Homo-oligomer: A and B are copies of this chain.
């Protein structure tokens, strides 16, 4: 996706442009950020931005596609794995946390998409597809007798990923816990519970 670096040419490559745009979208909201704001932030003209992308919406599309690509990559891995659904669900939860941590600003943006534009509505539809994959795994794991059957699988899926997705709100890479430690914490709470049974 990134154009080859142009030696000696001042300015930004698409990747840097995208990173700055995503940061700004996350700070001010996608609707609240204009190409004017972006050009001011980058210190380049709007036409220098349009040299890389035709529109603000295209920046959003590139950003949410990266997040969705990571998450669906993990979902495909989980679905391709042999064995019990509960293990595939564990793979999906741990893998999603790894994607969130690696692509934090991109997934943050994806989770804040509201559906005001075509790109946003497409992203929301892909998110619902992802939710369906999680719900199906929960259902299978219940049917296989590995997960408690007394909670609606769709509610379980939403709450489980509510925990995972909350990372975009509070996880900061250099603030102590590693991605693997967080994944362990989510796994322990969701699967075994917080209560210390004597």
Contact = CB atoms under 8 A, between A and B. Distances in A.
Interface in A164-198: 164-167, 169-170, 176-177, 181-182, 185-186, 188-196, 198
A129 interface: no
A2 interface: no
A32 interface: yes
A27 interface: yes
Interface string A98-137: 0000000000000110101000000000000000000000
Interface stretch (A8-16, A40-48, A147-155): A147-155
A29 B30 contact: yes
A146 B165 CA distance: 27
Given A165-B162, A189-B159, A147 B196 contact: yes
Main secondary structure of the interface of A (DSSP, over half): helix
Interface residues of A, number: 51
A182 B159 CA distance: 9
A165 B159 CA distance: 9
Interface in A1-33: 26-33
B155 A188 contact: no
B114 A29 contact: yes
Given A31-B28, A196-B145, A163 B152 contact: no
A84 to B, nearest CB: 12
Given A116-B27, A155-B182, A189 B196 contact: no
24 contacts: A26-B114, A27-B114, A27-B116, A28-B29, A28-B31, A29-B30, A29-B114, A31-B31, A31-B32, A32-B32, A146-B195, A150-B188, A152-B177, A152-B185, A155-B177, A155-B181, A159-B166, A159-B189, A161-B166, A162-B167, A165-B166, A166-B166, A189-B193, A193-B193
